[in-house]
Amino acid sequence: MSNRLISEILNAPHAYLLIQAIEAALENKKQRRISFYNDITEQQKAEFINGEIIVYSPEMKRPIQHRKANTFSCS
């Protein structure tokens, strides 16, 4: 991790608020990832990458669509 970035955050007047926002975003991403892994089946070819769900075509082995993880639902 970049020491310069950490130093900039710690020197910011609202460092506490920045850290709270980062923690909230990380927790949200964690919950979306858990939900994805709970909902996905072995038959579905999909990945959770950087907060987005990538769905692959079974025949073509390449992405056919992607959506933000918070809008994904398995039916």
| In contact, 39 and 73? CB cutoff 8 Å | yes
**pLDDT at residue number 67:** 54
CA-CA distance, 71 to 47, in Å (whole number)? 14
CA-CA distance, 52 to 31, in Å (whole number)? 13
CA-CA distance, 39 to 33, in Å (whole number)? 10
Confidence of residue 43 (pLDDT cuts 50, 70, 90): confident
pLDDT single digits (tens) 1-20:
689 999 999 999 999 999 99
Q: Which residue range forms the structural domain that includes residue 55?
A: 3-71
* Domain count along the chain: 1
